[in-house]
Amino acid sequence: MRFRGAKKRFSAKAPRFFAKTFFGNQGERYLNLKLTAADRMAAFAITQVVLDEATLFNIAVDPDFQRRGLGRMLLEHLIDELEKRGVVTLWLEVRASNAAAIALYESLGFNEATIRRNYYPTAQGHEDAIIMALPISM
């Protein structure tokens, strides 16, 4: 496994969702990371950095690589990189129903900052978005 800064090139093996998501999120304000395994993109994170804050817009692990700790590994590496850049706080948003992601974020030190009520549309109506924050460095 290895980390790389994300570029606008992907192997034919990369899931279409991964490649499509990256194309719209490039530029000097972004810190995009990918984790590769066996020459295949296994996971990615898209983060925007503005001044001393960062927002994690998206993190995903290829279904073939899930339940192996790659999400945690990627987040830990991202947090280290953000700390080196002097980022004070990392923000993210997660669906209230995504218990696995919330547990991961909490285990890394994220705290609930606020809730956006009825933010996500669902088949049953709407679902809350939980805004979480991680203090990184001072």
Q: Which domains does the chain have, with CATH numbers?
A: 2-135 (3.40.630.30)
Supply the residues annotated as catalytic. 93, 105
In the chain, the N- to C-terminal Cα span, in Å, equals 31
Tell me if residue 74 falls in helix, strand or coil. Answer: helix
Pair type for strands 111-122 and 125-135: antiparallel
The answer to whether 47 and 57 have CB atoms below 8 angstroms apart is yes
pLDDT of residue 57: 95
Confidence of residue 41 (pLDDT cuts 50, 70, 90): confident
DSSP state of 100: H
Is 98 one of the annotated binding-site residues?
yes
- pLDDT band for position 35 (50/70/90)? confident
Judge whether 4 is annotated as a binding position. no
pLDDT in tens, 58-108: 999 988 888 899 999 999 999 999 999 999 999 999 999 999 999 999 999
Bridge partners of residue 43, in order along the sequence: 35, 61
Confidence of residue 8 (pLDDT cuts 50, 70, 90): very low
Determine whether the annotation assigns residue 69 to a binding site.
yes
